[in-house]
Amino acid sequence: MKILRKTLFRLLFIIPLIGFTSNLKAQSDPTGESPATRTYAITNATIVQAPGKLMEEGTIVITDGLITAVGKNINIPATAEVIDGTDMFIYSGFIDGMSNTGAERPANPERPDNLFTPDPPNYYAGITPENQVIEQIKVDENSIEAMRKVGFTISHTVPYGRMLPGSGALILLRDADHPDKLILSEGSSLYSQFSGAPGAYPGNTLGIMAKFRDLYKNAELSKNHSELYASNPEGIARPTRDRVSEAFYPVIEKKQPIFYNASNSLEARRAMRLQKELGFNLVLGNLQEGWDLADEIKSTNTKVFMSLELPKEPKNSKEEDKSDEVKRLEERRMEFYKKYVSQYAELQKAGIKFGFSSIDARSSQLKDNLLTIIEHGLSEDQVLAALTTNSAELLGISKIAGTLDEGKIGNLIVSKGPYFEKKSQIKYVFVDGEKHEYDVKDGSKVKEGDETPATNLDAILGAWNYEFTTPQGTQTGKFIFTNESDILTGTMTSSDGTPDTDLQNISFLNGELSFDFSIDAGGQSVDIVVVGVVDGNNYEAEASVAAFNFTFPIQATKDEA
């Protein structure tokens, strides 16, 4: 572990930090086969039509992608595939307010030769508002299946990039053979963030704000000039086309909002300051520190999507004779944690209607994070509203999504047991009327005609001798996996004498073993995600350090004893 810590410590000074975008990947499984029917009827189920609106022993019918009937004593079409919903709960499909779901991260732009740092090319500065997220979307991108499996059916997907990556789109998390078939609404936002160009202007937050003002005001002048010329060109110089300025026209006309990735309160305040100066419609996405912002959010009429990424609950040291300084540090950590996880309930009390954003969260942790938010004051109905009706309203799609009503898109979740019970599992997810079935034992997707897959935990239990190599050298040790009351736990040891590290979020599905752990690299906590395949006694995996865009391979062999 010392080698890994040294490598990451060096990276703190070598590699600029990028936005944390780690997603625990899941395998997509498009069959490419047309279903036997496009009509489905789920009977005898508890239907949660909207938060607080519940119907027991109800039936819902989906035909050609739309909800065509909801109620009791429904006439079921003869062509329908009938699904017995006894003991099952049906919810409207969840809506992700801001994410990179479906988008593939492009390579970072190469530094130009003879770069003039005060005025770099737009592509290097990350000023590409004319770009569309559809250019990055891949139909087989693993995050589509990973998010669908946990109940999300619509995503407001924004592009990867720096300061102004481009415009976002609302996409359906369905199987498709072309990105266009995923698009529900294109150009739904202009996406911006406080991410500068390495070693060039605008490289810091103040520079980004100044550049944003210049771009916006230049766009206003360009728009006025173009409109004057169009109305009467006589005596007016012909406008020169500027795609960057043109990308701002819908924003200036207030037909398109700017979604700002503002994770902390300082960034949120800076985004609201720009909104106040320039007058555009603002949406704060991925807000993680909103507990002191309620009054400012309301006064600026800013829309909000709160982050679904939660900090880990701090653990106090087990030392008996702790110094006063250690005690104060532990108290401050716990105080911050409680303030963070309870802010959702506090914003609700303040009358702020918000949705959720998963852009910095891993799909495998989303349900646990939702349950934590409920434990700290937000009710189940309020959480459901943030996942459905609130998000639909904030994104302007309430007429077609967010509730289970006739005429709306056939997006719904069928859960074995109430969704917000810890042990409940999703059995079906319908997206645009397309059925996706999952095995309730392990969450893996079921293919038509296949036997239900099973997970043999014995395949991974025990000790595994691992080895990985970084630029600092080779590291060896053991992964030790145990099963405690059907919950996988694990420990990582190191042959160099470094203290053992707990493994978190361990998952073993269909031969894929994934987990994560945190280490201290020069005073900074760094999360590492490991994903790989178990083949007999061999484990081949890749470890990702999202904070540094750094990966390295890991090999492990299981002890035979």
Domain at 512, CATH number: 2.40.128.120
Q: Report the C-alpha gap between 125 and 223 in whole angstroms.
A: 23
* Tokens matching residue 482: 């145990």
Q: Do 328 and 270 form a contact (C-beta atoms < 8 A)?
A: no
pLDDT the model gives residue 450? 47
Dist CA 131 CA 470 (whole Å):
36
Using CA of residue 322, residue 328, residue 331, residue 332, what is the dihedral sign? Answer: negative
pLDDT at 536: 86
Instruction: For residue 422, tell me if it sits in a domain.
Output: yes
Residue 3 has pLDDT above 70, yes or no: no
Per-residue pLDDT band at 31 (split at 50, 70, 90): very low
Does 27 score more than 50 pLDDT?
A: no
d(CA 286, CA 329): 27
Number of compact structural domains in the chain: 2
Question: Which residues on adjacent β-strands are paired with residue 41?
Answer: 61, 82
294 contact partners, CB below 8 Å, separation of at least 6: 346, 347, 350, 352
Which residues have a Cβ under 8 Å from the Cβ of 321 and sit 6 or more positions away?
Answer: none
Q: Is residue 458 helix, strand or coil?
A: helix
The whole-number pLDDT of residue 561 equals: 61
C-alpha–C-alpha distance, residues 64 and 30, integer Å: 19
Residue 527 maps to a domain? yes
487 falls within a domain: yes
Per-residue model confidence as pLDDT tens digits over 299-313: 999 999 999 999 988
Domain containing residue 62: CATH number: 2.30.40.10
Contacts of residue 109, defined as CB under 8 A and 6 or more positions apart, other chains included, come to: 123, 124, 126
Is residue 461 located within the same domain as residue 493? yes
Domain limit, last residue, from 410, 437, 464: 437
DSSP 335-403: HHHHHHHHHHHHHHHTT--EEEE-TTS-GGGHHHHHHHHHHTT--HHHHHHHHTHHHHHHTT-TTTSSS
Pair (509, 425) in one structural domain? no
pTM of the model: 0.77
At residue 308's C-alpha, the angle toward residues 305 and 312, to 5°, is 145
pLDDT, position 522: 62
Give yes or no: residues 468 and 498 share one domain.
yes
Domain membership flag for residue 396: no
Structural domain containing residue 62: 39-93+402-437
